[in-house]
Amino acid sequence: MSVSYRWVIVAAGALMSCVAIGAMFSLAIFQEPIATATGWSHVGIASAMTLNFLVMGVGGFLWGTASDRFGPRIVVLTGALLLGLALVLASRAETLLQFQLTYGILVGLAASAFFAPMIAATTAWFDVNRGLAVSLVSAGMGVAPMTISPFARWLISAYEWRPAMLIIGIATWLLLVPAALLVRRPPAESVDAGTEFAAEGGRPQLSKVFRSPQFIVLGLTFFACCAAHSGPIFHMVNYATICGVAPMAAVSIYSVEGLAGLGGRLLYGTFADRIGVKPVLVAGLLVQALALATYLFVSELTEFYALAIVFGSAYGGVMPLYAVLAREYFGQRIIGTVLGAATMLSSLGMAFGPLIGGWIFDTFANYSWLFIGSAMVGLGAAAIALAFPPLARREQEAVLGVSS
């Protein structure tokens, strides 16, 4: 198989991450229409997203491990079939509990089948420009708010929320199943140079990996980073509406964040290939924290747009860097398992934001404390990232060789 096929892997991964994450995060667009039509509370609806992240965490670890053992294609194909089914069932839910179980559990389980397996597949196909390739796959998440979210808003306006969610579920099957069938293993599996966790060509010991300072710092930073931005992302449309922005314009803010995230992934990934992952990650986390605090002072649409560019590029740009660090610290053989475990911790962080944001809004009728708390957690993430141990010398030389 031609080495150029690696770009097909990148394209398939970007499409799958776009559709999967876009479908899951479209709940932010559905939240108000569902509450209006059903009388369900905002916190009850937002708890479905919390369940998404909790289940996504466990699922990411299991799917990542399965990808290491069986290959990525069967994993992402299963996820594609399950995601469409979950959305179809959620569109038929008659009670809040039914909606929470179908959208919260099944969508979260299905959406977690794509990130770790496709990132692992991508790192296996690329030795040069690995940071850029991983960022391009992850860029699908940035495209989601520019595609799935406006599409969901248009469908809701035209057909109400239930038919809209049903249509998205069917579209998910039509897009993801063919993309999953394109996934292949690389022509020759890359053999890792020895790391401190395994001898040359050997399989690292997972017990040693998960107790290592490298994994502990990776997991804690990923957790705090996602805990910081998940609530503001999920509640941004509702917050902008409260500030007087028209509903469709509020959705466009979400789209601007996604576009900025796409640019941020490419920019941060390129810088990481050239100057190293750690300094780029720390800088991005600091920008994210400052942007979160600044949301306390915006109210006009133009201000939302300007800040969305900064915030979106920061949180979008840092997300792929965790996968690059995992590959550089632990090698290719267990990248799916390690990244799945780190993603599990990040999903726990993501789970807090929507639920806490819904509780804050129901209690105080505003989101001020959400942005204050999120900014503080974001600063904590940057502080933790400073503790990343240095890469092994051969890995540093490899990074420098790419940039030279």
Tell me the pLDDT tens digit for each residue of 160-183.
899 999 999 999 999 999 999 999
- Three-state secondary-structure class, residue 195: strand
Percent of the chain scoring above 90 in pLDDT: 27
- The answer to whether 193 and 200 have CB atoms below 8 angstroms apart is yes
- Residue whose pair of structure tokens reads 């579209």 in the numeric block: 171
- The answer to whether 15 and 183 have CB atoms below 8 angstroms apart is no
Split at pLDDT 50, 70, 90, the class of 380 is very high
Alpha-carbon distance of 354 to 360, in angstroms, equals: 10
- Residue whose pair of structure tokens reads 């860097």 in the numeric block: 321
Split at pLDDT 50, 70, 90, the class of 142 is low
Residue 195 lies in a domain: no
Split at pLDDT 50, 70, 90, the class of 2 is low
Residue-wise DSSP of 202-221: PPPPHHHHHTSHHHHHHHHH
Average pLDDT, the chain: 83
- Which residue range(s) make up the domain with 345? 3-184+205-403
| Calculated CA dihedral for residues 19, 168, 26, 42, nearest 10 degrees | -150
pLDDT at 112 over 50: yes
pLDDT at 351 over 90: no
Supply the pLDDT for residue 225: 93
Alpha-carbon distance of 106 to 86, in angstroms, equals: 5
Average of pLDDT values for 131-159? 80
Please give the backbone phi and psi of residue 334, each rounded to the nearest 5 degrees, phi first: -125, 25
Alpha-carbon distance of 58 to 64, in angstroms, equals: 10
Residue 67 lies in a domain: yes
pLDDT at 38 over 90: no
Supply the pLDDT for residue 391: 65
Residue 196 lies in a domain: no
Supply the pLDDT for residue 357: 85
Residue from 177, 183, 23, 40 nearest 117 by CA: 183
Residue 135 lies in a domain: yes
Residue 85 lies in a domain: yes
Average of pLDDT values for 13-20? 89
The 10s digit of each residue's pLDDT in 300-337 is 899 999 999 999 999 888 888 888 888 888 877 787 78
Tokens of 88: 């179809």
Alpha-carbon distance of 242 to 338, in angstroms, equals: 41
214-244 burial code (b ≥16 CB/10 A, e <16)? bbebbbbbbbbbbbbbbbbbbbbbbbbbebe
Q: Which of 9-18, 165-174, 244-253 has the highest mean pLDDT?
A: 165-174
Residue from 160, 306, 147, 311 nearest 229 by CA: 311
Residue 396 lies in a domain: yes
Supply the pLDDT for residue 306: 93
2: buried, middle or exposed (CB in 10 Å: 19+, 13-18, 0-12)? exposed
Residue 339 lies in a domain: yes
Q: Which of 91-95, 121-125, 137-141, 149-153 has the lowest mean pLDDT?
A: 137-141
pLDDT at 54 over 90: no
**DSSP type of residue 107:** I
Residue 189 lies in a domain: no
The total domain count for the chain is 1
Of the two residues 320 and 221, the one the predictor is more confident about is 221
- The answer to whether 26 and 149 have CB atoms below 8 angstroms apart is yes
Average of pLDDT values for 376-403? 70
- The answer to whether 25 and 145 have CB atoms below 8 angstroms apart is yes
The CATH number of whichever domain residue 48 belongs to comes to: 1.20.1250.20
pLDDT at 396 over 50: no
- Residues listed for the chain: 404
